[in-house]
Structure 1
Amino acid sequence: MQNKFNKITWAVAIAAVAFTSQANAGGYQINEQSVSGQGYGHAGRSSNVNDATIVFGNPAGMSFLDRAQLTAGGTYLNVNSKIRNVESERTGVVTAGGAPIGATSGPVNGTNEGDMVPGTLIPFAFYAQPVNEQLAFGFGVYAPFGSNTDYEGGFEGRNQGNYTEVRVISAQPTVSYRFNDQWAVGAGITYNRVNGELRRQVPVAIPDGLGGADITELDARVEGDDDNWGYNLGVIFQPVPETTLGLTYRSKVSYTLTGDFRATATDASLGVPEGTVVREDNASLDLTTPETVNFSVTQQMSDNLKLMAGASWTRWSRFDRILVEGENSDDPITLEPQNYSNAWAFAVGGEYQLNPQLALRAGVTIDNTPTNDATRSVRIPSDDRRIFSIGAGWTPMENLTLDVAYSYLTERGTHVDQTKTDTRELQPGVVSQVTSSYSADYKNEAHGFGAQLTYRF
């Protein structure tokens, strides 16, 4: 069971962190680094220079700001999920010397309440400082990745996974240079810190002495972290003053996660007191989150109206397998194919300057998932998304702007179908093997409420 436990929990850890590179963008990549951009669906992420959040959107854009400014804010995400058409089964067998001495089969008792994603506030802060008409510096702190699913304690799919939390915080110093009225370039270095925790209830079959078996569960948990550097590059081109084209590249980031694993008895069925740690170990994995490319165009249609369109591409084909290695084993703990696909997202939006103090915004985003039906997990049961956004910017005085936005995300109904086999040696020559399966239909939606403040110096 030792290797099985590490295999399952770390395999999910990789999946969670990797999907986390798509949190509100076709998996679990967080898009919430700008509330002004949220209002028009981030359609002009690389080309529309509104405030200091351009440090993230396109570092080249800082040189188009006329003075120093600080932008800080956050978006609160409220996710709602419904689970329907659930089927589950658990088959366990206990063998002694290879011969069966007990067996059991039946559904997993439990609940399927849904709404397993807690409400979450995603904050950010950016500062941009023009030095002269060509050169500008900036700095940002934000969350590019993040995931949290917390099912109820009696969740019917708990043998597949019942808790996932992954957090990534990035700090980004940035510089940009404007060659002339048409061209500007920029670059940023990112320091990224990853933390994660995964939990699962692992079933174990115990012979009852009558040819049958009972099922107990172990609480398996893993925690890991790492940090590493990445970078981003940007370019802005204005062929005419009314048209701005922007292109941003964000690099891959390679991690080697290391952490602690432990499995704890939930009752006394294994001959040890409840709460006893029956297995603990160290494990490590190599993980590369994929690079992304964003292109957008902003067109000033009149003095008051500008329209934006953008496309983002993520190289998810890098995530083709899960390879986990243990500290005390020469053989891989797990080697599993994933075969993810590269993913696209598309957005259109606009902004209308109603008067010198008030700007109104709206946008629509089509966000395709990199996941596939064969490997979709209860930890991240997501699919293709449509996002509808509105927003406004209010400038009561020349130096101060308050931006607010609301987004509604609706996801295509999706299906999860998972099966796991857990093996544990109860005593020398006596082995428990339990195969658990869980399938269900998921329907997810989310509401995002954002607010940010920009102060110009």
Structure 2
Amino acid sequence: MSPRNRAALSVAASMTGLVVAGSAHAQAFYLQEQSTRAAGRAFSGETADTGAASLWWNPAAIAGIEKAEASANVSLILPKGDVVDNGTVIRRPGGTFAPVGGSSTSRDPINKGVLPSGAIAVPLGDRLAVGLAVTSPYSFTTDYSADSWARYSADRTYLRTFDIQPSVGVAVTDWLRIGGAANVQHVDASLSNALPNLAAALPDGSQKLEGGGWDVGWTAGVQMHNDWATVGVSYKSAIKHTLKGDLTVSGLLGPLAARNTTVSGVEATFYTPAQIMIGGRFRLTDALTLNAQTIRSTWDQFDAIRLGAPLNTALPENYRNIWSYATGVDYAVSPRLTVRGGVQRTLTPTRDGERDARVPDANRWNYGLGASFDVTPHLALDAAANYVDFADASIDRLTAAYAGTAAQTPVALNGTLENAHAVVLSLGGRVRF
């Protein structure tokens, strides 16, 4: 290995959470706002609902539709929260642990965002339909100030995914519908954090990883219908993402200056989780429908970020599998107006003792209210508001810059995510034609 690549490897070994990390309001870096109708009932009945608006959750949702239909949605995500230092320390070579210094409170490091989504479905006869959904299920941006106490863990993180889901649904019988889909995803990521120089009086260096790539997964589902109930089950596969890009290290001084470099063609791989979704919609009266849904997310597949040649190292993440649970109601006030509400409980896949500032995630409750109004027999407008309440959570991960070298510099994170919540406002429309 060349001296340049040995230098890059020793730097890369200190990088935790490089490719996909950050807190959305659903779980870790997953965003679930793919339907305004769904947001209004806190995502409690989507696997069992019908039409293009539910296509992301279950391709069987479009089987047996009578007319072509389209759905378009946009969500404004407004997160708040503080990431607070409780005594983070750093030990430079030859020294003892000392306070990391810098601003002790990072306010609102998770950026506000606008999330669009849409879907269309077209019947091909009485029982067969094809559809297409376009979503952005894993996307966020976080920014910490250059002097933040968390700067060696995270500076700026940018992640965007675009999921294109061509789908087919078939009504096998009057009560059984099945569906399948491909999930073609493009990922762009840009991630950076500060690097400590050997003397505390020196300014920090920096490192930045940028990359992108295309990958493919799949979704399959089934729905069972009778006069008063629909039950849906679907499976969305894990996707192995492979990003190719550049790693840049700059600003290192003195003996570390030889590590300043740009390494092109770095390959990073990681998995986004599979989801097993089970939901039901139960018509209790002509006006009132009860919704329930649970999702198992296999976040343990996000066990590490693996950097290929020329770095050839792995960065542990050690996420855990989780469940989310949701229940809600739809109530038809009139033939044209439906109101809805729901509540969702989701645990974080991050673990105490392994959570860093790039992933200030926590257990949360999501409360939703919404309504739909049929403007005409062909056009319905949807609106929803969600309030997401996060529990306080520790930021408590041990990392090391230049790991495995004489310049190894441990950083023991000791902080807390506090006062975190998010407001999400969604608007959408559904058209039949």
Structures share a fold, TM > 0.5?
A: yes
Gaps of 5+ in 1: 94-99, 207-212
Looking at structure 2, the residues matched to 63 and 345 of structure 1 have their Cα atoms a distance apart, in angstroms, of 26
1:264 and 2:250 are equivalent in the alignment: yes
In structure 2, which of residues 122, 147, 158 is the aligned counterpart of residue 129 of structure 1?
122
1:25–1:345: 8 Å Cα contact kept in structure 2?
no
In structure 1, which of residues 8, 12, 15 is the aligned counterpart of residue 17 of structure 2?
12
Looking at structure 1, the residues matched to 280 and 412 of structure 2 have their Cα atoms a distance apart, in angstroms, of 47
- 1:192-271 matches, cutoff 5 A: 192-206=185-199, 214-238=201-225, 240-265=226-251, 269-270=253-254
In structure 1, which of residues 398, 401, 414 is the aligned counterpart of residue 393 of structure 2?
414
- In the TM superposition, residue 326 of structure 1 has moved relative to its aligned partner by 3.4
1:339 alignment partner, SS class: coil
Looking at structure 2, the residues matched to 140 and 391 of structure 1 have their Cα atoms a distance apart, in angstroms, of 22
Deviation string, structure 1 residues 317-372 (Cα, Å, up to 9, x no partner): 22333432331x5xx33453x43321100000010010122110000001111111
Looking at structure 2, the residues matched to 140 and 447 of structure 1 have their Cα atoms a distance apart, in angstroms, of 25
Distance 1:64 1:57, change over 3 A: farther
Looking at structure 2, the residues matched to 4 and 364 of structure 1 have their Cα atoms a distance apart, in angstroms, of 46
- State the percentage of identical aligned residues: 23
- In the TM superposition, residue 153 of structure 1 has moved relative to its aligned partner by 2.4
2:150 paired residue number: 157
1:28 and 2:29 are equivalent in the alignment: yes
Looking at structure 2, the residues matched to 415 and 431 of structure 1 have their Cα atoms a distance apart, in angstroms, of 30
- State the aligned residue count: 424
1:360 paired residue number: 339
- 1:18-417 matches, cutoff 5 A: 23-49=24-50, 51-84=51-84, 86-93=86-93, 103=95, 106-111=98-103, 112-206=105-199, 214-238=201-225, 240-265=226-251, 269-270=253-254, 278-282=260-264, 283-327=266-310, 332-334=312-314, 336=316, 338-417=317-396
Deviation string, structure 1 residues 272-330 (Cα, Å, up to 9, x no partner): 99xx9921114223322221111101001111111100100011222333432331x5x
Query: Counterpart of 1:234 in structure 2: which amino acid?
Result: G
Radius of gyration: which is bigger?
A: 1
Distance 1:362 1:422, change over 3 A: same
2:65–2:126: 8 Å Cα contact kept in structure 1?
no
1:352–1:360: 8 Å Cα contact kept in structure 2?
yes
Distance 1:439 1:365, change over 3 A: same
TM-score by length of 2: 0.92
Looking at structure 2, the residues matched to 334 and 133 of structure 1 have their Cα atoms a distance apart, in angstroms, of 51
1:435 paired residue number: 410
Looking at structure 2, the residues matched to 84 and 424 of structure 1 have their Cα atoms a distance apart, in angstroms, of 26
1:204–1:432: 8 Å Cα contact kept in structure 2?
no
Looking at structure 1, the residues matched to 133 and 315 of structure 2 have their Cα atoms a distance apart, in angstroms, of 37
1:3 alignment partner, SS class: helix
Query: Counterpart of 2:27 in structure 1: which amino acid?
Result: G
- In the TM superposition, residue 389 of structure 1 has moved relative to its aligned partner by 0.3
Looking at structure 2, the residues matched to 431 and 370 of structure 1 have their Cα atoms a distance apart, in angstroms, of 34
1:317–1:340: 8 Å Cα contact kept in structure 2?
yes
Aligned CA-pair RMSD: 2.4
Tell me whether 24-33 or 300-309 shows the greater mean CA deviation: 24-33
TM-score by length of 1: 0.87
1:153 alignment partner, SS class: coil
2:19–2:189: 8 Å Cα contact kept in structure 1?
no
- In the TM superposition, residue 451 of structure 1 has moved relative to its aligned partner by 0.3
Query: Counterpart of 1:139 in structure 2: which amino acid?
Result: L
Distance 1:355 1:380, change over 3 A: same
